[in-house]
């Protein structure tokens, strides 16, 4: 129990760091159990992994706060943030060498994600955190350790894991918001919408490197044009009004710097839920919406991009296209086809990050460069087919080409950050000025060939590591997977999760018969059934800090893995 822990720590004072290893185990405190699952080997190594578990009858969270999945996730997120705030209040922080004195729970950003950092159920509340066991040089400072374990941690736990010591209003606000968000997202498809932006939303962010809302200067809150305004009746908040973007092909046009990309970026993030005060709480997009961009240099493995690219010089077969180094247009084509392969119902594109020759080929260029000499069937000639034959909608930012007026169902113009519905005017202009171009798609694009990942792709040797470096890179054995351009990956904990998921999927689900989509879905359903911990090699203890990624980002990582081998599933 706690006295044993105190005695052990005091006895270790002045000893070599390795003596800490004997701390591993569990300790009963008056109101909680402390688990020391993994003890770091030196003060500079990753800090030690611990858990604290409080019986629910002592923690006292009313079941209404965790009875459904969205409510539980919102509460778990709240507890992680409360724990972090309590650490800031009670922990003296760094003291000694390396990570000595650190107490930390994984950082939560603007999104509310399902994470491994906290677990709430009817039996207990558990928080998973790390402690840098303190030392000077490599000498254990036992008294500091006693202070951490018997003064600071008890105060942190007191403040953050017992319902009656928390701000119940704040918890209820977050739980009810997440319920509303999930409800609204679930309603979109049935209402014929791809996305919704509530009036009053704050879309711009503080800076290019900060995801917090912009507060300085003049911020224009979002206001729907009357033509696109829709209402939802949410379970907690009641009626909300805002802009509904119907399915089909929607253009976002407007002058440079008038807020087009800011709107699109908010829609990209709308596949996730945001915390109260974020400004995008009620910017909600279909859960499977995928941002598509050009990404030259990426690898591509047997993707059928023939809908967009054909007759490449050198005669490469684009029905099963592989490359170690895709161009802007071939990478963008592959990104689309891979998103469709995973079942995306909505594509989001921004001219700023698209390959121009993939997006448009105007009448004059068609006259100069013959159809036979141009491998690319531009997106403009496929975007309607995607919708009409496959039911896949597109929202597209274009400031530079009116050719798209002819293929759009709706045109929204951003003017000084205010959206206007200019569909009728764009139609009229399109009718008056023929664009002089010919449709270049001679066939219809209506299906995507599923690919089957082969087990040989994922073999690891004895000492091979699997890990993430920040949010932009996964290391899988000897191979780095570049995720910089996977824009809807929003948290380093998601990247860490994906690294483990690939390994887990290879062990349990990749069998040379299941398609990529089936493999990813099998992993996600294991996570649904057994919790996020299932992907961790340390399941049953502190599993590591993971956040749930979407199927699309898991597939995106596998698709960018340069040792990937697939076969095409015969029909």
Q: Where do contacts with Mg ion occur on this chain (CB under 5 A)?
A: 260-261, 352
* Residue 219 partner contact from ligand ADP, Mg ion, none using kind-dependent CB cut-offs of 5 to 8 Å: ligand ADP
Residues 291-310, mask of contacts with ligand ADP (x by CB under 6 A): --------------------
Q: Which of 508, 514, 521 is nearest to 554 (CA)?
A: 521
> Residues 563, 324: contact at Cβ < 8 Å?
no
Query: What tokens were used for 525?
Result: 């359903």
**How many whole angstroms separate alpha carbon 266 and alpha carbon 518?**
29
* Residue 7 partner contact from ligand ADP, Mg ion, none using kind-dependent CB cut-offs of 5 to 8 Å: none
**Would you tell me how many other CB atoms lie within 10 Å of the CB of residue 443?**
10
Q: Which of 288, 273, 289, 282 is nearest to 108 (CA)?
A: 273
Please, which residues have CB within 8 angstroms of residue 245's CB and are 6 or more apart in sequence? Answer: 193, 194, 195, 196, 197, 228, 267, 395, 410, 412
256 near ligand ADP (CB under 6 A): yes
CB of 261 to ligand ADP, least distance (A): 3
**How many whole angstroms separate alpha carbon 32 and alpha carbon 13?**
25
CB of 409 to ligand ADP, least distance (A): 21
Residues facing residue 251 across a β-bridge: 396, 411
| Site of tokens 């932006």 | 197
Q: Which of 212, 233, 220 is nearest to 275 (CA)?
A: 212
Q: Which of 204, 270, 345, 492 binds ligand ADP (CB under 6 A)?
A: 204
> Residues 535, 527: contact at Cβ < 8 Å?
yes
Nearer to ligand ADP, 200 or 531 (CB): 200
Q: Which of 260, 293, 410, 552 binds ligand ADP (CB under 6 A)?
A: 260
* Residue 181 partner contact from ligand ADP, Mg ion, none using kind-dependent CB cut-offs of 5 to 8 Å: none
CB of 258 to Mg ion, least distance (A): 9
**How many whole angstroms separate alpha carbon 548 and alpha carbon 69?**
13
* Residue 262 partner contact from Mg ion, ligand ADP, none using kind-dependent CB cut-offs of 5 to 8 Å: ligand ADP
* Residue 417 partner contact from ligand ADP, Mg ion, none using kind-dependent CB cut-offs of 5 to 8 Å: ligand ADP
Q: Which of 11, 88, 219, 429 binds ligand ADP (CB under 6 A)?
A: 219
Total residues contacting ligand ADP (rule CB under 6 A)? 15
CB of 256 to ligand ADP, least distance (A): 4
254 near ligand ADP (CB under 6 A): yes
Nearer to Mg ion, 261 or 330 (CB): 261
CB of 312 to ligand ADP, least distance (A): 32
Residues 134-173, interacting with ligand ADP (CB under 6 A): none
Nearer to ligand ADP, 257 or 389 (CB): 257
DSSP string, 195-226: EEEETT----EEETTEEEEP-SS--------G
Q: Which of 258, 291, 451, 514 binds ligand ADP (CB under 6 A)?
A: 258
Q: Which of 97, 116, 139, 261 binds ligand ADP (CB under 6 A)?
A: 261
CB of 256 to Mg ion, least distance (A): 7
Q: Can you state the percent helix, strand and coil of the chain, rounding each to 5? A: 40, 25, 40
CB of 394 to ligand ADP, least distance (A): 17
For 68-98, what is the HEC assignment?
CHHHHHHHHHHHHHHHHHHHHHHCCCCCCCC
Instruction: Give the strand pairing for 393-397 and 346-350.
Output: parallel
Residues 372-431, interacting with ligand ADP (CB under 6 A): 414, 417
215 near ligand ADP (CB under 6 A): no
Nearer to ligand ADP, 378 or 399 (CB): 399
Element (H, E) at 334: helix 328-341
Query: What would you measure as the largest C-alpha separation in the chain, in angstroms?
Result: 88
Positions touching ligand ADP (CB under 6 A) are 203-204, 214, 219-220, 254, 256-262, 414, 417
């Amino acid at each position: 129990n706690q006295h044993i822990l105190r005695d052990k720590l005091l006895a270790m004072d002045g000893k070599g760091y390795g003596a800490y290893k004997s701390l591993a185990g569990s300790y009963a405190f008056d109101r909680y159990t402390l688990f020391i699952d993994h003890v770091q080997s030196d003060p500079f190594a990753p800090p030690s992994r611990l858990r604290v578990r409080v019986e629910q009858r002592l923690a006292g969270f009313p079941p209404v706060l965790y009875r459904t999945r969205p409510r539980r996730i919102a509460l778990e997120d709240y507890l992680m943030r409360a724990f972090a705030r309590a650490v800031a209040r009670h922990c003296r922080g760094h003291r000694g060498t390396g990570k000595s004195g650190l107490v930390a729970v994984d950082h939560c950003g603007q999104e509310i994600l399902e994470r491994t950092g906290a677990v709430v159920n009817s039996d207990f509340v558990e928080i998973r955190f790390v402690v840098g066991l303190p030392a000077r040089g490599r000498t254990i400072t036992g008294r500091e350790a006693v202070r951490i374990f018997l003064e600071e941690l008890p105060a942190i736990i007191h403040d953050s894991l017992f319902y009656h010591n928390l701000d119940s209003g704040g918890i209820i606000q977050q739980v009810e918001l997440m319920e509303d968000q999930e409800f609204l997202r679930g309603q979109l498809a049935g209402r014929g919408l791809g996305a919704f932006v509530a009036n009053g939303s704050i879309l711009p962010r503080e800076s290019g490197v900060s995801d917090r809302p912009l507060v300085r200067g003049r911020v224009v809150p979002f206001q729907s044009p009357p033509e696109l305004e829709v209402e939802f009746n949410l379970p907690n908040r009641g009626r909300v009004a805002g802009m509904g973007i119907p399915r089909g092909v929607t253009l976002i046009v407007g002058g440079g710097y008038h807020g087009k990309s800011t709107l699109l970026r908010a829609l990209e993030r709308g596949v996730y839920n945001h915390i109260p005060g974020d400004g995008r709480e009620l910017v909600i997009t279909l859960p499977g919406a995928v941002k598509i961009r050009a990404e030259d240099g990426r690898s591509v493995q047997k993707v059928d991009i023939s809908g967009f690219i054909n007759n490449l010089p050198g005669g490469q077969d684009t029905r099963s296209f592989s490359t170690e180094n895709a161009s802007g247009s071939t990478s963008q084509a592959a990104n689309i086809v891979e998103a469709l392969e995973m079942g995306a119902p909505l594509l989001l594109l921004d001219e700023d990050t698209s390959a121009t020759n993939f997006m448009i080929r105007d009448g004059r260029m068609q006259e100069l460069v013959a159809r036979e000499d141009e491998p690319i069937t531009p997106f403009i000639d496929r975007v309607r087919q995607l919708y009409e034959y496959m039911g896949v909608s597109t929202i597209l930012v274009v400031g530079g080409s009116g050719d798209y007026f002819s293929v759009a169902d709706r045109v929204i113009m951003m003017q000084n950050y205010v959206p206007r519905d200019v569909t009728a005017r764009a139609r009229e202009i399109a009718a008056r000025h023929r664009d002089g171009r010919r449709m270049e798609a001679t066939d219809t694009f209506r299906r995507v060939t599923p690919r089957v990942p082969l087990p040989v792709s994922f073999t690891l040797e004895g000492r091979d590591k699997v890990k993430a470096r920040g949010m932009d890179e996964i290391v899988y054995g000897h191979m780095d997977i570049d995720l910089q351009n996977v824009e809807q990956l929003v948290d380093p904990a998601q990247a860490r999760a994906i690294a483990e998921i690939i390994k887990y999927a290879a062990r349990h689900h990749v069998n040379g018969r299941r398609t990529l989509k089936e493999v990813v879905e099998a992993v996600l359903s294991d996570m649904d059934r057994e919790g996020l911990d299932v992907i961790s090699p340390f399941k049953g203890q502190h599993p590591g800090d993971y956040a749930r990624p979407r199927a699309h980002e898991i597939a995106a990582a596998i698709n960018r893995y340069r040792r990937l081998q697939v076969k095409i599933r015969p029909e």
